[in-house]
Amino acid sequence: MKRWMCQAVGLLLLLSSSTMWGQDVVLTEDSKPQPGVPEGQVLGPFQWKSKIFPGTVRNYWLYVPQQYNADKPACVFVVQDGVGLAKGWKLPTVLDNLIHKKEIPIQIGIFVEPGVLPAANEKAQPRFNRSFEYDSIGDRYAQFLIEEILPEVKQKYNLSDDPNDRAIAGSSSGAICAFNVAWERPDQFRRVVSTIGTYVGLRGADVFPTLIRKCEPKPIRVFLEDGTGDLNIYAGDWFTANLDMLSALKYSNYDVQNAWGDGGHNAKHGSQIMPDALRFIWHDYPQPVAKPAPQKARIDIVIEGEDWQEVSSGHKFTEGPAVNEQGEVFFSDVPNGKVHKIALDGKVTLFAENCPGINGLMFGPDGKLYGCENGSKQIVRFSPDGKKETVVDGVTCNDLVLLANGNGYFTDPTNKQVWFFTPAGEKKVVDTGIERPNGIIVSPDQTLLTVADSVGRMTYSFQIQPDGSLAAKQTYGWLHVPDDAVRSGADGMTVDTLGNLYVCTRMGIQVLDQPGRVNLILDRPQPGSVSNVVFGGPNLDTLYATAKDKVFKRKVKTKGLFPFKEPIMPPKPGL
């Protein structure tokens, strides 16, 4: 065995013998072999070399119950920290007993170790990837399972692709890894067992209780276990963090159950309650795990049962949704240089073509559609029949907004500038210095201009002056940022009649109140970026979002407005 593998196994055995388990663990009968119960096989180790975690090597094992039938897709149960944790939890025996009693479905266990980058030479240490893979938030580890491990196992075993048929579990850092996989990809995993979970500030997992409260509920079910004697060190208090997780999950109406003990950072209690944990996450199977009812929030816009619906697809990259007075929505397909129209009956038609690099769109008070035609370095406008004319020439532009007086503003990310322009084509730079100004929108009363910085985590606020200049520049709106980046990816924006700001970001559509605080994060319509959003429909109560090659819509409880019409005064916000 190579030295790095010996070291890794040695660490796991040390963890298993001195920290995780003890001789005084009292197990239920479901964790002990029972006469007459078919015994599944534990196969492996199998070695895997990852591309998603470059250079790393790891082992995984498979548990295959005797009841497995290759003609029927089996459920999936992924466990972090490999066969050491699985056997410490007595999982093969627990699975045998519960499958035999038909208290849980037939499932293939996949016990995966964290990766190790082998040492460069005999005098060097390997790079142990456990904390990086397990303690980090974001979708990298989920991608590793979905794109590497599951396809590999599926070559030999018939695994279900239904997310309701997939569970994932872990202990300590492996527990937050398990929760994070389901959180990021509920379209792949929906059942989670977390013991002594490390929801503290090692690599950002302490943000989970906040995100659980702010993000739209996801269709996942969670079992939490911890003890009052768990760790309390520089990164946080483990038991308190688990209490915060439970509080947040209950607040957001998740199907959650917990088991608290008085133990420390070990798996004694976890191994005792594992049969009950598995019964809970699989209870009422094959009924699907339901998406929780939305919690009534300060910004109460989510309608239960309403989700994103696809409106149009087959484009290269959609952007710039804009709404006219009738509630019809127009959007651009940037690489194809086209503008499309979504009628009130949902029919999508071509409105204009031969518009190189057409991006942000916005209607003006003259009833014409203005657009950032960056390929020709122009601001253009279209008459209702699609005829195009130039308004501003010789500028790079990304997004724009027009006010009731006919004047407008546009962003120039290439030169880190914000411009003012008039319908007659006059133009002037009114701000410089934002690293990458992108989305731009005006407040309902048309006195405040907001600019998104796609490489920062703040939006900028300005007060509009009578001559079109900007004053009182300030970073104002605070955005959540993915763990693996410092860039929010803030892009297109819109506002509603209450003055709430909707910002498209890498984490979803973040909804900020007037004081600039994120109250709610709407799910992305599909994995990947969401570039822009606007209120449309005859009542302006439907959000239209552009996302990569598609356009989506969903009904909400609030209403949008027309920036190009007379200003309205929003209510005073709660401070």
The residues assigned a catalytic role are 491
- What is residue 278's three-state secondary structure? helix
Cα–Cα distance list, 88 to 81, 230, 268, 272 (Å):
11, 18, 9, 10
Determine if residue 30 is labeled as part of a ligand binding site.
no
Residue 284 makes CB contacts below 8 A (sequence gap 6+) with none
What is the distance between the alpha carbons of residues 473 and 451, in angstroms, rounded to a whole number? 10
Q: Before 286, cis peptide (omega within 30)?
A: yes
What's the distance, CA 81 to chain centroid? 25
Which helix (H) or strand (E) segment holds residue 339: the answer is strand 338-342
- What is residue 9's three-state secondary structure? helix
Neighbours of 476 (CB within 10 A): 19
- What is residue 243's three-state secondary structure? helix
- What is residue 330's three-state secondary structure? strand
What's the distance, CA 567 to chain centroid? 34
The first and second tokens of residue 546, run together, are 């552009």
Determine if residue 491 is labeled as part of a ligand binding site.
yes
Q: Is the Cα torsion angle 268, 274, 275, 279 positive or negative in sign?
A: positive
DSSP assignment, residue 108? E
DSSP assignment, residue 398? S
What is the distance between the alpha carbons of residues 254 and 293, in angstroms, rounded to a whole number? 8
Q: Residue 172: which of 58, 265, 79, 269 has the closest Cα?
A: 265
Q: Residue 409: which of 420, 425, 417 has the closest Cα?
A: 420
AA letter at 175? A
Rg (CA), the chain: 27
Residues within the annotated binding site for a divalent metal cation? 438, 491
Which residues contribute to the annotated binding site?
Answer: 438, 491
